[in-house]
Structure 1
């Protein structure tokens, strides 16, 4: 079967992309507003794009009536963001941060998450994460009336020491983290 983009509604296009590009990593993005309010939200339209310089991209979609949410607004205002990768052990907290919280309410607090300072940017990293990237916006591109992409330059990569096999050669243990036993 074929779906032509100009003949399907946006929700169908979204469903087709998210159901077929798999597995899809989740960027758990922490931003800080100009007044210092922290925000955290998951983004599944995300991936790395290159290594010279190291770059990644986030797909930011806006509500047609309310516009961009805090993550996009903060990135566009400050140019800084921390991307944390979501491990299986943090899925529940990540889901909590996906709520439509009012502006100036920190999803990090709602999810009971602690943070630690990033090295090159103001927004902190999530302490419990296994991998995080300090990023500065390199460019943003409006790709539609209610969406933009942000290209971020990776300034630092933080990886939990437990997963470093050989630091000189950057060999990383990429096996899934062990599952917790079920009661």
Structure 2
């Protein structure tokens, strides 16, 4: 049984070439690669000052061993702290934390602890030294696996040491996406919520191959 193919009305395309005058590649990419999950990264600097900042270039890099990645666009405080201590926590941002998370995106001096500044409650992590956000529905405690420099950015790969999930977002042993209620980043100043959730079984070979 062949699967039906979707169709859209044809439309002319506008071509943007990176490097050409007036082309904002970053703005275009972040407006079309979406929604992007948010790594709300908590770290501690070598001087003991905490840092909490959102990063929307975030994903899973490896299943076994479990490794997650986030990208520092430029030499951000999160990167400096991870390089110094080799530990960090990725906190998942729920919808009710929008204002707090957005507040931590302000580019304040590295001597400022964003969580303390904005009154964001933290709690001790289970394995690593950086604390996690107390209100975050799930967190991923990591040690540094490696970094990769790409252009003006650095990809940080974190070896997962512990995953903590609040019981309220669990359905049995599984995380319920609707209860997790994660925020995402869209283009410009826009943020996204989960919206409609659709379930679709992954097709078997016989579902897509011709009879």
Which of the numbers 132, 154, 176 marks the counterpart of 1:148? 154
For residues 48 and 150 of structure 1, the distance between their equivalents in structure 2, rounded to whole angstroms, comes to 11
Residue 40 of structure 2 contacts residue 52 of structure 2 at CA under 8 Å; is this kept in 1?
yes
Partner of 2:40: 28
Q: Which structure has the higher relative contact order (CA within 8 Å, separation 6+)? A: 2
| Rounded Cα–Cα distance in structure 2 between residues aligned with 1:127 and 1:160 | 10
Alpha-carbon distance in structure 1 between the residues aligned to 2:154 and 2:76: 12
Report SS of the residue matched to 1:14. helix
- For 1:48-59, what aligned pairs fall within 5 Å after superposition? 48-59=60-71
TM-score when normalising by structure 1: 0.86
Larger % of strand: which? 1
Structure-1 residue corresponding to 2:165: 159
The answer for unaligned runs of 5 or more in structure 1 is 63-67
- In the alignment, which residue of structure 2 is the partner of 1:107? 114
Contact 2:139 2:164 in 1 (8 A): yes
* Deviation of 1:8 (Å): 6.3
Give the TM-score normalised by the residue count of structure 2: 0.75
Count of aligned residue pairs for this structure pair: 168
Aligned to 2:123: 116
Query: In 2, Cα distance between the equivalents of 1:18 and 1:105?
Result: 28
Q: Is the 8 A contact 1:97 1:110 kept in 2?
A: no
The answer as to whether partners of 1:96 and 1:110 remain within 8 angstroms in 2 is: no
State which structure, 1 or 2, has the greater radius of gyration over its C-alpha atoms.
Answer: 2
